[in-house]
Structure 1
Amino acid sequence: MRMHNADETCGIAQAALVLGDWWNVLVLREVARGHVRFDALAAEIGLSRKVLTERLGGLVAQGVLRRSPYQHRPTRHEYLLTDAGAALVPLLVAMQDWGDRWVLGDGTVTATAAEDSAEHARVHALAGTRLPDGLGLPGTQGGDVPLVAPAAAATVLFTYPGAGVDWGEPIPGAAGCTLENRLFRDAWPDFRHAGVDVRGISTQLPHEQAEFAQAEKVPYDLLSDAQHRLAAALRLPTFRGAGRLRHKRLILVIDAERVVRHALFPVVDIPHAVCESLRLATECARRA
């Protein structure tokens, strides 16, 4: 691609060399979702082997993907994000947020969604899918915590916009995060009795979550998706509020094999959603 001389010092222009191709963006989207092998990428994107080979080679040459062998004789590779590639994940999520709001939506800032929205369809399509292997998020004690509790018969993941946030102008669906955490806290003995673990996830930083967990005596893990790894892996709906991209409120019930069994979204009636997640997770645990 021929560039104007002024583009040589323009970060936007240089980034466009990597992301300016439709297929490059979709390849990076799928790698972030955990589809890291050639056949899986070809199936998810619907791209010819020739074109996919070219795009993967280009992304490796640009330094955003690296090849890692997983089989010998014949040698086969997985395509993994480099540090430079991982730094593109928040940009991918921001692109999705922009598309959801301005292309698929009417431009309104909202922390919820209509039942006929693209976001609603994406979340409910997660039922029956398996979480990417090895995906953990920073916890309040430091270090990554697995999304699914190893010893639990089922796990409830709930995403929330952020606790203790001054929203300024009211954003529909954003309020209620402290209430939600308190309701999960109060129901914690019932979840544990059923063999179910709970994980709360927001894009707040670990120290912010640690302060909240201590103040509210939260007994379960709060995980930070500040780098948007989970949002990108599951294509979760987000909105921009109080200075950052934030998760919209939803609940996933996941079995011991890391398969999503139920998705609750949008969450409008928080007390009902907490009770329903307990009921669904208890049934899932009984079948384990």
Structure 2
Amino acid sequence: MRMHNADETCGIAQAAMVLGDWWNVLVLREVARGHVRFDALAAEIGLSRKVLTERLGRLVAHGVLHRSLYQRRPVRYEYLLTDSGAGLLPLLVAMQDWGDRWVLGDGSLTATAEADGAEHARVHALVGTRLPDLELPGVRGADLPLVSPDAAATVLFTYPGTGIEWGSIPGAAGCTLENRLFRDTWPDFRKAGADIRGISTQLVDEQAEFALSEGIPYALLSDAAHRLAAALRLPTFRGAGRLRHKRLILVADAERTVRHALFPVNDIPHAVERSLRLAADCARAA
């Protein structure tokens, strides 16, 4: 592709050169979702082997992906994100957010969703799938897995953010209430053999301050780098200067399989009560 001289100093133009076309974007989307082997990528995207080989080669050459050998006979590679590639995750999430709002939606800024919309379909399609083997930064200074290693079931709830005036954005308010309700029912979750993970795109120090002031006993994890949002294609919205998770609840078993999904969450007290019942059922079935 021939570029105008002015494009040599334009970051947008240079990024577009790396991304190339929509196939490259979809390859990165699927790698972020955990489909890192050739056959899995071909199946998910529907690309011919020739075209996929070309796209993977270009992304490796640009330093966005690197190949990791996992089988010698015959030789087979996994394609993993480099630091440069991980830096594209916020871009992928922003593209999804834009598509959800302006292409699949009516352009309204909202922190909730319609029951028959694309976001609803994506979240509920997670039931029966395995969560990624992913660790996120926690408020106590260590990265923690999505699923608690000492619980038969784990409840993951995503929320927009605490300590923020949300104004007129539908569905955004209630994060402090939700955390307090999970805090107050924490003994019941533990008695049932379940753990809780609260996840937002707030920074770790913001979460730590809130956890200390509110006496939050369960782990709060930061998805500020959008690794989880990209891996699960989670619904987001832009508020208070940042992409935020929409409120949802997933119940996973000890093998990281999603057993239940609650979305949209409009009645927070009811959703917390229901997640306790679902988590207890999941733990008993383990």
TM-score range, shorter chain: over 0.9
User: Quick one: which amino acid aligns to residue 116 of structure 2?
Assistant: D
TM-score, reference length from structure 2: 0.99
Q: In the alignment, which residue of structure 1 is the partner of 2:192?
A: 194
230, 253, 265: which is aligned to 1:267? 265
Q: In the alignment, which residue of structure 1 is the partner of 2:82?
A: 82
Distance 1:189 1:245 in 2: 32
Deviations 1:3-37 (A, max 9, x none): 11111111111111122301000000000111111
Counterpart of 2:185 in 1: which secondary structure? helix
Q: In the alignment, which residue of structure 2 is the partner of 1:174?
A: 172
User: Quick one: which amino acid aligns to residue 212 of structure 1?
Assistant: F
Distance 2:46 2:231 in 1: 19
User: Quick one: which amino acid aligns to residue 258 of structure 2?
Assistant: V
Distance 1:179 1:270 in 2: 8
Alignment of 1:205-284 (within 5 A): 205-284=203-282
User: Quick one: which amino acid aligns to residue 9 of structure 1?
Assistant: T
Q: How far apart are 1:46 and its partner, in Å?
A: 0.9
Distance 1:212 1:7 in 2: 44
Q: How far apart are 1:39 and its partner, in Å?
A: 0.8
Q: How far apart are 1:71 and its partner, in Å?
A: 1.1
Q: In the alignment, which residue of structure 1 is the partner of 2:58?
A: 58
Counterpart of 1:40 in 2: which secondary structure? helix
Alignment of 1:28-67 (within 5 A): 28-67=28-67
Alignment of 1:49-128 (within 5 A): 49-128=49-128
Matched, 1:131 2:113: no
Counterpart of 1:50 in 2: which secondary structure? helix
Unaligned stretches of 5+ in structure 2?
none
TM-score, reference length from structure 1: 0.98
Distance 1:185 1:196 in 2: 13
Q: What is the total number of aligned residue pairs between the two structures?
A: 286
Q: In the alignment, which residue of structure 2 is the partner of 1:164?
A: 163
Distance 1:274 1:119 in 2: 21
Counterpart of 1:95 in 2: which secondary structure? helix
Deviations 1:207-261 (A, max 9, x none): 0000000100000000000000000000000000011000000000001110001
Deviations 1:54-108 (A, max 9, x none): 0000000011000011111222111000111000000000000000000001111
Q: How far apart are 1:50 and its partner, in Å?
A: 0.7
Distance 1:285 1:213 in 2: 26
Q: In the alignment, which residue of structure 2 is the partner of 1:147?
A: 146
Counterpart of 1:96 in 2: which secondary structure? helix
Q: Which 4+ stretches in 1 moved above 2 angstroms?
A: none
Distance 1:34 1:17 in 2: 24
User: Quick one: which amino acid aligns to residue 272 of structure 1?
Assistant: H
Deviations 1:137-192 (A, max 9, x none): 0000112110000111000000000011122x321000000000000001100000
User: Quick one: which amino acid aligns to residue 43 of structure 2?
Assistant: A
Distance 1:183 1:51 in 2: 51
User: Quick one: which amino acid aligns to residue 110 of structure 2?
Assistant: T
